[in-house]
Amino acid sequence: MFTGIVEEVGAVRAIKIGPRVATLEIDASVTVDGTDIGGSIAVNGVCLTVVQRRPDGFVFEVGPETLSRTALARLGAGDRVNLERPLRFGGALGGHLVLGHVDGVGTVDAVTRVESTARVRITLPGRELEPLLIPQGSVAVDGVSLTVAALGGLSFEVMLIPHTLAVTTLGRLEPGQATNIEVDVIGKYLVRSLALRGMT
């Protein structure tokens, strides 16, 4: 479990997509500390297991299910990625509860700079995520905990403050870019419970 508070921006050293599994190599420094083989790291909001640990980064194996449900397959050498270690018991929950289980891949529709901030509109991959987003609710975009600023037809908007633009990859967002979206887990459980009771 994560919080959506990015600890560092790493860089893709290499990604090799094989017939059964992909190998993703990430250069990192901060998140290497205290992370062992078998441990978890959120990479752009996707919970991955460390299969090899180097002094300057990690190696992950990524299965076909993860590749098909996330934007990781679109990464290339040199691309920047948001990294976060798991939440530890007793640690501060600065963002919101993020599982690292991506619900869909959205597409950046527009990025509007407003002085030192930015307003970003992201198109949803389908209608199934619409009931799970609410104004002023939580959403994780590429692993970054954000607040929904507005909802539109098959889209939502977030406002990015200067700090977020500076310390995450979101400062580099451009129209047409794919982003990993994870909606609030509480909303998912609520909608599922209501559906089972025939109330949706």
In CATH terms, the fold of domain 104-196 is Elongation Factor Tu (Ef-tu); domain 3 (2.40.30)
Residue 160's nearest CA partner among 186, 179, 188, 184 is 179
Asked if residue 19 has pLDDT above 90, the reply is no
Residue 31 contacts residue 83 (beta carbons within 8 Å): yes
Query: Per-residue DSSP letters for 147-185?
Result: EEEEEETTEEEEEE-HHHHHHSGGGG--TT-EEEEEE-H
Residues 38-58, mean pLDDT to the nearest whole number: 97
**pLDDT (tens digit per residue) in 52-76:** 999 999 999 999 999 999 999 999 9
Query: Which has the closest alpha carbon to 44: 13, 94, 9?
Result: 9
From the CB of residue 87, how many other CB atoms can be counted at a distance below 10 Å? 18
Which top CATH class is 8-84? mainly beta
- 8-84 matches 104-196 in fold: yes
Residue 169 has pLDDT above 80, yes or no: yes
Q: Spell out the domain ranges in the chain.
A: 8-84, 104-196
- Confidence band for 200, pLDDT divided at 50, 70 and 90: low
**If we measure between CA atoms, which residue out of 177, 28, 56, 38 comes closest to residue 47?**
38
Mean per-residue pLDDT for 155-176? Answer: 97
Residue 43 CA to residue 86 CA, distance in Å, equals: 11
Report field, pTM of the whole predicted structure over 0.85: yes
Please give the structure tokens belonging to residue 103.
């619900």
What pLDDT score does 196 carry?
80
Instruction: Kindly state the average pLDDT of the residues 86-103.
Output: 83
> pLDDT (tens digit, 9 = 90+) per residue, 103-115?
999 999 999 998 9
